[in-house]
Structure 1
Amino acid sequence: MDLKLDERVALVTGSSKGIGEGVARVLAREGAIVIVHGRNKIKTEEVAHDIVAQGGRAHVVIGDLTDDDQVQRLVDDAQAFVKPVEIVINNAGGSGATEDWTTTRPETWAAGYDRNVLAAVRITSRLLPAMREAKWGRIVNISSLAAMMPPFKRPDYAAAKAAMIAMRHLWRRLSLWMVLQ
């Protein structure tokens, strides 16, 4: 498969394990320069090292996407590696508590929204100016089946992932804005 990603810079949030790790590996095989992100430095470096050992190009950024200062530092680091980030895969997030609909507290809902939706907003809003200037960029949000078929447990996660799907429509409109401005 040739996705025509040679030399494109891709930041994959939450790529130290799971789906994000898999996405980072595929992008690297397709020729992208991958920025591997995670909170755990050892795991994140292991993924990047393995990508490089397999002939890919990878860099590491560490940070908590619920912390504005860490996100700014992470974005600054990512933008300084080779050239500005051209592709962002908003994968980081996940579920927190496994409470049911009747016992989930508002704080749990807010934390789930912050961990999933606002994390993507923090990253994407900081990367959009460079994409707009280049008139090229790709934004991909990783969601979940829970967004369409919410389980009884983890309602905060289901709602946050539904918001990620809604943001996809916003990103599509932003792509037009990037070209016309």
Structure 2
Amino acid sequence: MDAKFLKELEEAGWHIERVSETGAVCKCLAAGCSLRAKLKQGGYIPKVDPGKRRDMIDIPISQYDDIRRLLRARREGLGLTIREVEELAGMATDHLAKMEKDEPTKIPNSQVLIEWALSLGYELVFRPTQLPAYTRRVVAESRRQQGARQRRFRLERERRQQR
């Protein structure tokens, strides 16, 4: 398998799901598109419509277990070992094994999680959504303290800038 071929797939707009010695199974990332293609190295690589690609699919995450399962499936789909991903992400040996297993004994800090995801071709994106009902209630009920809080926040910003 040639790394140049994999790059050509991604440049054509495909998301690589699995890789074999002769080709790759790729998915179209346009929202609502379920197209998958088995593309062979040296063969024709169709392009995904770049206009539609801007509206890529989102993978909702509500807990660490969702991330862990997603990244493990991605690693396995790419046929990479835990040791290889640790090296790609700049992690200590056996660190990923403890984070990736069912009932993990280690939960990554945010920087390690970002590097783990990036090494497997994912980016972490924060998208605004609705506030949970309880958060809305706390915000509404705490408005009487808003003036004092804003003063405190301003003082804290000033202290950080002085450091």
- TM above 0.5, one fold? no
TM-score by length of 1: 0.23
TM-score by length of 2: 0.25
